Amino acid sequence: MSPREKSNSERINVFFSPEVLSELKKLAAEKGTTVSGLVRMIVLEFLAKK
């Protein structure tokens, strides 16, 4: 996942339980990305399927 220009994006806050966050951290590490990058990828893939 490449960094995005700040002028081309907006920040949001999402809250997860400690258990969900732990799973996201594990999955992100397996994929070699950050939790933020992983969540972004998942959301964009979901929206592309609509």
pTM value? 0.79
Model confidence band, residue 1 (pLDDT cutoffs 50, 70, 90): very low
Measured between alpha carbons, how far is 50 from 48 in angstroms, rounded to an integer? 6
* Full domain range(s) for residue 23: 16-49
28 within some domain: yes
Q: How many structural domains does the chain have?
A: 1
> Is the pLDDT score of 3 beyond 80?
no
Position 27 in a domain: yes
Q: What is the tens place of the pLDDT at every residue in 17-46?
A: 999 999 999 999 999 999 999 999 999 999
The pLDDT score that the predictor gives to residue 6 is 67
Per the domain annotation, does 25 fall within a domain?
yes
